[in-house]
Structure 1
Amino acid sequence: MAANTGDRRGEVREFLTSRRARLSPQQAGLAAFGDNRRVPGLRREEVAALAGVSIAYYTRLERGNLVGVSESVLNAIAGALHLDDAERDHLSDLARAANVTASTRSRAGTARTRVPAGIQQVLDAITDAPADVRNGRRDILASNRLARALYSEIHAETIRPPNVARFTFLNPRARDFFVDWHTAANDIVASLRIEAGRHPYDKPLSDLVGELSTRSDEFRTRWASHNVRHHTAGTKKMHHPIVGEIELAYQVLVLPGDVGMNLNVYTAEPDSPAQEALRFLASWADGHLPSGGNTLPLEVDQADEGSRTAKP
């Protein structure tokens, strides 16, 4: 298991091997002869044939060497392995990381910890829906009052900034808070896998994965599966200590600019019990939460070609 997100070859090897193992010859449209197959799923030579590359070349790729691989070959491999959109993007991220030179590795990307100036005002202007900003490590960097009330269990964590993954796997209260804890756990690991593919040299991310792998068997098992998934919309059902069970729809919006952050907004159906619960939660927050946000402004690094980067 490549727990270290910087283990690029290991990440590639385990991802491709796991995708090959889950695909049967029948699913791939191949005839299966006999039942004496010594490997689960497809053989390497079968993937190579389906992708239209030599066995030696595919073997090189599966051993973790994606240096110089073309987009057309990546697409052929993705098609042969029946990868979905998230898995295709992940494979492209792994290939992109493989071609990062030593001189640019330090600039290959790290999840930000400071949000752009003015974002807190935007969040505070959203008064009827919980909204917050998170980076790829799932640190909660800024929230409006209703989001702080909704996720009060996570904001009570002593490590700052509060981190959804750490709460999910290391805080026993998470299993009560998330009504479907197993789905929440699968989703958070799948999203961290995507982030690890995008930013394999992000040391805080590697440290987080190492901590969770060491302290949680549930995380370690899920991390080893190499599943990836996009989470841009859906529903979440939570059991809140103040309002009880509440189900909300969510939308994840990418903030403009190269800041690597997402805006998460949670909404309830009009005139629904969930909307009534949010109103009650807002009233509770007015009497129990301090005013002001929990955000730090993003500073501009003038040396970074004019792009916005975070200063710790």
Structure 2
Amino acid sequence: MYLYDLARAAGPAPGARARQREVRPTVRPSVARIVEGMPELPAYVMNNRLDTLAANPLGRALYAPMYDDPTCRANVARFAFFNPAARRFYPDWERMARFAVGALRIEAGRNPYDREVSNLVGELSTRSDVFRVMWGSHDVHVFRQSTKRLNHPLVGHLELDQETMSLPDGSGLSVVVYSAPPGTATEDGLKLLAGWSATTGQEREEQSTSGPSTRQP
């Protein structure tokens, strides 16, 4: 059945074992420094399975609803289909959902023996009726977005310019950066979000360095 096209890949054909043991790409330190070096712009590194492997503080703050849900494991597809907050977070939720399905279908075709892809598709198919229907339609809706519209729970509506830059090292990783035109409400929203991120980050750092209290009851 089409829902388990990838399940067949879990039992590899002869000669496929080496491809199954392929090392998962990691974020090079130089790429991580680039992402961290843009503190005023939300930025993160994503692989072809829609895992966000690294993000700067503003990027994590922008996608706080996803990062706050441990079941998502920082995966955009899991967030879109498993967390009800995603339908509020993405005003164009269906378009985003179809993009996620299309991206995973392309990756499954490109790497049919990737166990992580097959496991992710199986998990999404089992837990989400909507994903199962979209996957079964065999449509591929993958597009390079130039604008991202989000409804952030803290700062409200944001209309961001998006740039996605694929790394030229064959890793399948991309750097995604958001920005806002000067003088717009979205720019103000990003500044507010950056301030909130800095404050909460400082609080977490203070909590981690203060250690357990020695005060007697």
**Aligned position for 1:3:** 3
Q: Measure how far apart 1:110 and its partner are.
A: 5.9
Measured in 2, the distance between the counterparts of 1:156 and 1:110 equals: 30
Secondary structure, counterpart of 1:162 in structure 2: coil
Unaligned runs of 5+ in 1: 10-99, 292-312
Q: Using the alignment, how far apart are the partners of 1:251 and 1:200 within structure 2?
A: 28
**What is the match of residue 137 of structure 1?**
49
The answer as to whether partners of 1:190 and 1:227 remain within 8 angstroms in 2 is: yes
- Give, in angstroms, the shift of residue 127 of structure 1: 2.0
- Alignment partners' CA distance in 2, 1:187 and 1:110: 26
TM-score by length of 2: 0.84
State the match for 2:79 in structure 1: 167
SS in 2 for 1:263: strand
Residue 19 of structure 2 aligns to a residue whose secondary structure is: coil
In the alignment, what sits opposite 1:181?
93
Please, what is the CA RMSD of the aligned residues? 2.4
Per the TM alignment, residue 117 of structure 1 is displaced from its structure 2 partner at its CA by 2.2
Change (3 A) 1:233 1:148: same
Flag the 1:217–1:104 CA change in 2: closer, same or farther, 3 A. Answer: closer
Counting helix residues as a fraction of each chain, which structure ranks higher?
2
TM-score (norm 1): 0.59
Judging changes above 3 Å, is the alpha-carbon distance between structure 1 residues 231 and 155 closer, same or farther for their aligned structure 2 residues? Answer: same
Deviation at 1:109, TM superposition (A): 8.4
Unaligned segments of structure 2, at least 5 residues:
206-217
Following TM superposition, the consecutive aligned residue runs of length 4 or more in structure 1 with deviations greater than 3 angstroms are 4-9, 108-113
CA 1:233–1:137 in structure 2 vs 1: closer, same or farther (change >3 Å)? same
In structure 1, the residue matched to 2:213 is: none
The aligned residue for residue 191 of structure 2 is 279
After TM superposition, give the deviation of residue 140 of structure 1 in Å: 0.8
Distance in 2 (CA, whole Å) between partners of 1:277 and 1:112 is 35
**Post-superposition CA distance 1:214-251 (Å, at most 9, x none):** 11111011101112233333211111111011111212
Which residue is 1:220 aligned to? 132
Provide, for residues 1-22 of structure 1, a one-character-per-residue CA deviation record: whole Å limited to 9, x for no partner: 423353689xxxxxxxxxxxxx
State the secondary structure of the residue aligned to 1:233: coil
- Asked if the contact 2:90–2:151 (Cα under 8 Å) also holds between the matched residues in 1, the reply is yes
**Distance in structure 2 (CA, Å) of the matches to 1:199 and 1:286:** 39
Alignment of 1:1-312 (within 5 A): 1-6=1-6, 102-104=14-16, 106-107=18-19, 112=24, 114-159=26-71, 161-289=73-201, 290=204
Q: Percent identity?
A: 40
